[in-house]
């Protein structure tokens, strides 16, 4: 990564004043006695006495008296088992409702109010405006088209010939890999296996469906079992292997999002009446379409993966509210927003190729997260695709509102109205 000339000059001047011998000596010192005194007690324990020990430790260490962080009304803390370590309290993020959102999906049908956990003023208001406009326009069509969750182990061999022999053998084991999948999970199914040979390295991309769970941990455990079978039975023994090669795109924005699917591919669309655009957005379909085309070109020039306004805003807020893996926003927020003119009206479409969400597992069963899912009737089995389609529709509502405000030159005005805490 390049650094500007004046910046690097300041860094060099700062380091030139250091005694490098003293610095090296400090870096090489290992103070295990000090480390032992800094260790938090009983990392996995959720017993109140151990929690209080951790609270006392951090209050003393940081010289901070905790009040709101440690204030909770949950009696049975065992519900957090498997979700947290070194527990001390709860982050209380404000939750607002977006809606009414009318969705015409394959799985989500009806009117919904969508919980969003955020501290960004104007965000919920913007998405609510978009949902109202689309409601009056007849609703949003939303559909999950494809589902896949992948894990990509890598195997290294002496040479290309060994890599080729291994690949031929691995292809023949696909049904066995499916058996291993079924044995280790009631919900997962191995759908496909892609192979990428790079010299003496073979990458296997194992593509699963994971039922109503987001499936990150599920596919990791299954892939580990498949790798164990490979190591025990392959006629060509790998020199080394790694359960994840970084080819799956896990928790990263990647070009694989456009080539394949990791999670759920969701598409949503709506046609917005020109009169509603004028009434609620103070602009026209033509102006919005002009801005979308202009911003797409600018996005290409800046090197963004995808072309859209702010998918991450909706995804992060809904993920936090409903107990999803928030780090998956990095891959889920890659997508494309597209518009067309239909006479004086506006056609708007969002494409989300990498939406990682679940209605069971992970943090979905925690108290507030469960309630947020229940608000949308999306908690439990057979609801993951419904949740994904609601999220797709919410993303579209937010895109329409944001793009409309920029097209009307009202973007700053809305933030001034709803973010009054900020002073000039």
Catalytic residue, chosen from 207, 250, 325, 331, is 325
SS3 of 56, please?
A: helix
Catalytic residue, chosen from 120, 244, 273, 286, is 120
SS3 of 346, please?
A: strand
In sequence order, the 6+-apart residues with CB closer than 8 A to the CB of 35 are none
Q: Any catalytic annotation for residue 325?
A: yes
C-alpha to C-alpha distance for 292 and 407, rounded to whole angstroms: 9
C-alpha to C-alpha distance for 419 and 121, rounded to whole angstroms: 5
C-alpha to C-alpha distance for 257 and 176, rounded to whole angstroms: 28
Q: Any catalytic annotation for residue 224?
A: no
Q: Any catalytic annotation for residue 78?
A: no
C-alpha to C-alpha distance for 153 and 133, rounded to whole angstroms: 46
SS3 of 18, please?
A: coil
C-alpha to C-alpha distance for 213 and 362, rounded to whole angstroms: 8
Q: End-to-end CA distance of the chain, in Å? A: 33
9 — phi, psi (to 5°)?
-65, -40
User: Is 333 in contact with 315 (CB distance < 8 Å)?
Assistant: yes
Catalytic residue, chosen from 50, 286, 345, 415, is 415
Residue 224: other Cβ atoms inside 10 A: 13
Residue 374: other Cβ atoms inside 10 A: 13
C-alpha to C-alpha distance for 61 and 368, rounded to whole angstroms: 30
In sequence order, the 6+-apart residues with CB closer than 8 A to the CB of 173 are 229, 230, 233
Query: Dihedral angle at the C-alpha atoms of 63, 69, 71, 77, nearest 10 degrees?
Result: -110
Instruction: Give the residue carrying structure tokens 């182990």.
Output: 153
Per DSSP bridges, beta strands 263-272 and 240-242 are unpaired
Structure tokens at 1: 């990564």
Q: Could you tell me which of 185, 229, 249 has the C-alpha nearest to residue 211?
A: 185
C-alpha to C-alpha distance for 365 and 16, rounded to whole angstroms: 54
- How open is the CA angle 36-42-46, to the nearest 5 degrees? 155
C-alpha to C-alpha distance for 393 and 21, rounded to whole angstroms: 59
Please list the active-site residues.
120, 325, 415
């Amino acid at each position: 990564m390049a650094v500007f000339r004046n910046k690097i000059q300041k860094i060099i001047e700062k380091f030139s004043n250091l005694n490098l011998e003293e610095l090296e000596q400090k870096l090489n010192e290992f103070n295990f006695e000090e480390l032992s005194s800094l260790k938090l007690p009983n990392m996995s324990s959720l017993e109140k006495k151990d929690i209080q020990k951790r609270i006392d430790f951090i209050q003393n260490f940081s010289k901070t008296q905790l009040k709101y962080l440690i204030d909770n009304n949950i009696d049975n803390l065992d519900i957090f088992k498997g979700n947290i370590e070194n527990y001390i309290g709860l982050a209380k993020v404000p939750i607002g409702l977006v809606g009414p959102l009318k969705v015409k999906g394959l799985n989500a049908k009806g009117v919904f109010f969508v919980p969003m956990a955020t501290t960004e003023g104007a965000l919920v208001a913007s998405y609510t405006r978009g949902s109202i406009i689309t409601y009056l326009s007849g609703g949003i069509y939303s559909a999950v088209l494809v589902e896949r969750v992948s894990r990509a182990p890598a195997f290294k061999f002496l040479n290309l010939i060994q890599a080729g022999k291994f690949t031929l053998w691995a292809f023949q084991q696909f049904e066995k890999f499916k058996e291993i999948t079924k044995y280790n999970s009631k919900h997962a199914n191995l759908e496909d296996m892609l192979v990428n040979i790079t010299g003496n390295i073979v990458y296997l991309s194992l593509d699963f469906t994971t039922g109503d769970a987001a499936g990150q941990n599920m596919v990791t455990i299954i892939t580990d079992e498949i790798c164990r079978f490979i190591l025990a039975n392959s006629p060509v023994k790998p020199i080394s292997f790694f359960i994840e090669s970084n080819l799956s795109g896990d928790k990263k924005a990647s070009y694989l999002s456009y080539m394949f699917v990791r999670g759920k591919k969701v598409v949503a669309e709506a046609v917005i009446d020109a009169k509603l655009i004028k009434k609620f957005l103070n602009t026209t379909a033509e102006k919005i379409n002009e801005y979308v085309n202009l911003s797409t070109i600018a996005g290409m020039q800046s090197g963004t993966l995808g072309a859209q306004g702010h998918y991450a805003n909706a995804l992060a807020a809904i993920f936090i509210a409903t107990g999803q893996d928030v780090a998956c926003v990095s891959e889920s927020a890659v997508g494309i927003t597209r518009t067309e003119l239909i006479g004086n009206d506006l056609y708007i479409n969002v494409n989300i190729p990498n939406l990682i969400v679940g209605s069971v597992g992970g943090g979905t069963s925690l108290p507030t997260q469960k309630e947020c899912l229940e608000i949308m009737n999306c908690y439990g089995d057979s609801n993951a695709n419904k949740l994904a389609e609601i999220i797709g529709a919410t993303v579209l509502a937010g895109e329409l509102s944001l793009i409309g405000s920029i097209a009307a030159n009202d973007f700053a005005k809305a933030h001034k109205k709803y973010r009054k805490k900020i002073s000039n």
